[in-house]
Amino acid sequence: MNGGYAGQILLIDLFSGSSEKRPLDPKNCRHFIGGFGLNNQLFADLAFAGKDPFSPDNPIIIGAGPLIGTMSPGASRIMATTKYPMTGAVASASGSMTFGAQMKWAGYDHIVVRGQSDRPIYLYIQDETLQVCDASALWGRDILQTTEALWAKHGPCGVIAIGPAGENLVKFSLALVDCTATIGRGGLAAVMGSKRLKAIAVKGTKGIRVADQKGFLKTVDGLYSRANKFPQRENVVEFGIMSGWLPALEREFPHAPEKIQILTNLYGPSVYQKFKKARRACPSCFVADKDVLELKESCGETFNTYPTSFMLIRPLCHYLSQISPEHLLKIFDQLNRQGMDLFTFVKMADLLIKVYEKGGIGEKQTRGLVPKRTYEFFLQLIDLISRRKGIGDLMAEGWNHILDVFGEAAWNEVIIIKGLDTIYDPRVSGLGTMEFEQIVCPRGPTSATSGSPTYLPNAPLDMFSKHAERMGAPREAVARILSTAMKVNMGRLSRYSEDWYAVLSSLGICNRAQNNRFYHIGLCSELYEKATGMEMSPEAMMEAADRSWTLQRLLNAREGFSKKDDLIPDQWFQPLESEGKKLQMMDYFRTRPLSREDLYQTLEDYYQERGWDPTTGYPSRKKLKSLGLPTA
């Protein structure tokens, strides 16, 4: 390998504590790029179908793409591939901060963890050396305490750690990278917990080369120059992700401008400034989206919290009224410390309160608990779930168990696809790619894989063709995307959003809109070639993305997933009551309400655009053959 790639896969067996290093196969690199793509290929090679997510045979594969560890802007995204307990699907979740760069500098593109330890352990990897260390003293401690203990012992290093929720196999637990970046919505932390793996820490001192140093730096400098001239650059430096506060609320409350004003007064950018202590960036990132916030204890002492971004208090404030930003941040801090998914937690708390208030469940089911929309109750519920005590034990098992116990009164109150709660509702924002993708994403609903202009409210039509071309959609596909009565065919466009996500995540580039807007497929190809010295045309890169996404579909087909799991929620066809209004699902441009037929057609168009059979949802033989994937 001439550069970009570190050239090695580290395979760790937790039963024996032994490890093995395998060289990266250049042919696989050309076919799957790295990161997301190669993780899928490794999972196909190393894992058996039909295993329980908590089986020792379920591997955790961490992948760091070929641009990670270099200066390519925002190239710090690692991917964690495993069979996730919330959905039972083989999926990849992304995380950032320093773990990926440290991995690459230590000499590894992928780390595979298999087996199960008989006692709590953590892994410390420094260059060629792997230490399997006793974690008895860390077991039970929260993620921030754990990470800080590892930094105190080993010095600066990349750390993926779990909290008590992961240890206790809470199915919607997640891990944090370096105290602040979430990784693994859907239960990565629980898979780590099942292996008694408290943390993985990695430090690299070897560095990473690129094949064409001069050419690579010239391209990268061009990118930084464009980013520095970006008109909103100053705003991004000052506010980070909070610079997108208003557009995010406009997307969530297009029908209630007064609500946007109220929320902005209570929790908006000026409030953020009062808590902001510093911001942290992932290596080579020009957005610096990770906040360090200062909070006060009740005794008056201050402490730091690392909530990824202040912006993420939005989902919390929707479910808790009249609550101070301090209390919201303390709830968020606890979720992070315990290692729980914020989005799922607030929906579970909301459901519990609603069903209890309607009399659908009583204190027998809540085990004596009286659910309320208060700061104190939310903290209590976090504690119960992370320790699996009382009602928390039921909630830790995930949505299917909750809906079984809560019964009919709960079924219409929450929208679940593939066992995971939805994040976006097309009745509020119209049907964009982010709403549609929740139906088809193998991972279940996520905010990651479906970027497009529909990320913004009221995006103009011409932005869609430019965006599709930037993502690498061929000209004839752009024509198909735009030839529809709904102006933009979200099913067809979603295919290219997924492929673009696969390109970025395979290279290691952050797909946040604030970062990925500076990239296009030609630039990705150029950076890859200069970093690795290997040829990869934009078309070949798009084909590798298609191959990787299709392989992910195959991996889940062998787990029993099919078209029946790409569920169009019934609730989307019922009016949603919000802020005194009744909202109907409409197309993104709000020209008309959408029917079931519209959604079925969008789904069929998506399958067709992917080259999958619209009647079964499986990749066709022809498609598999063209991608060189197994047809049997």
Partner 1 sequence: MEGRILLKTDGSRCTQCLNCQLVCSITHAGIFNPGIARLRISASEPQIAFEPECTQCGLCARHCLYGAIIAAKEEG
Interacting residues with partner 1 (CB under 8 A): 69-71, 101, 105, 151, 156, 205-210, 213, 217, 224, 227-228, 237, 278-286, 288
Which residue, 288 or 482, has its beta carbon nearer to partner 1? 288
If phi > 0 it is left, if psi is from -120 to 50 it is alpha, else beta; for residue 487 that is left
Q: 180 vs 454, which CB is nearer to partner 1?
A: 180
* Alpha carbons 260 and 264: distance in angstroms, whole number: 6
DSSP string, 224-241: HHHHHH-TTHHHHHHHGG
CB nearer partner 1, residue 126 or residue 626: 126
| Residue with smaller CB distance to partner 1, 101 or 144 | 101
Least distance (Å) between residue 65 CB and partner 1: 14
Residue 545 CA to residue 433 CA, distance in Å, equals 18
- Closer to partner 1 by CB, 64 or 545: give it: 64
Structure tokens at 222: 């061009």
**Which DSSP string corresponds to 553-567?**
HHHHHTTT--GGGS-
Q: Which of 471, 435, 628 is nearest to 550 (CA)?
A: 628
State the amino acid at position 460 in one-letter form: P
Q: How many other β-carbons are positioned within 10 Å of the β-carbon of residue 275?
A: 18
The nearest distance, CB 175 to partner 1, in angstroms, is: 20
Structure tokens at 318: 């929707």
- Considering the complex, state which of residue 213 and residue 537 has its C-beta at the smaller distance from partner 1: 213
CB of 352 to partner 1, least distance (A): 39
Provide, rounded to whole angstroms, the least separation between the CB of residue 593 and partner 1. Answer: 46
Shortest reach from residue 265's CB to partner 1, in Å = 28
User: And the tokens for 131?
Assistant: 């230490």
Q: Between 25 and 238, whose beta carbon lies closer to partner 1?
A: 238
CB of 526 to partner 1, least distance (A): 17
Q: Which residues of 5-28 are buried (b: 16+ CB within 10 A; e: fewer)?
A: bbbbbbbbbbeeeebeeeebeeee
Please, which residue, 71 or 540, has the CB nearer to partner 1?
71
Q: Which of 392, 414, 417, 393 is nearest to 403 (CA)?
A: 414
CA 240 to mean position of chain CA atoms: 19
Cα end-to-end distance, the chain, whole Å: 32
Instruction: Tell me whether residue 101 or residue 536 sits nearer to partner 1 (CB atom).
Output: 101
- Rounded-to-integer distance, Cα 218 and Cα 216, Å: 5
Q: How far is the CB of 524 from partner 1 (least distance, A)?
A: 18
Identify which of residues 70 and 446 has a Cβ nearer to partner 1 in the complex.
70
Q: What's the closest the beta carbon of residue 443 comes to partner 1, in angstroms?
A: 29
Closer CB to partner 1, 171 or 280, in the complex: 280
Residue type for 95, please?
A: G
C-beta closer to partner 1: residue 101 or 138: 101
From the CB of 375, what's the least distance to partner 1, in Å? 30
Give the C-alpha separation, 159 to 211, whole Å: 29
Q: Please, what sign has the CA dihedral across residues 217, 219, 221, 227?
A: negative
- Which of 405, 388, 521 is closest to 467 using CA atoms? 521
Give me the least distance between CB of 198 and partner 1, in Å please: 21
Grouping H, G, I as helix, E, B as strand and the rest as coil, residue 346 is helix
**Closest distance between partner 1 and the C-beta of residue 21, in Å?**
20
Please tell me the distance from the alpha carbon of residue 112 to that of residue 482, in angstroms, as a whole number.
42
Comparison of 291 and 421: residue with beta carbon closer to partner 1: 291
SS3 502: helix
For 365-478, list the strands marked E by DSSP.
416-417, 420-421
Q: What is the smallest separation between the CB atom of 161 and partner 1, expressed in angstroms?
A: 17
CB of 69 vs partner 1, minimal distance in Å: 6
**DSSP annotation string for 163-203:** -HHHHTT-TTB-EEETTTEEE-TTTHHHHHHHTTEEEEEEE
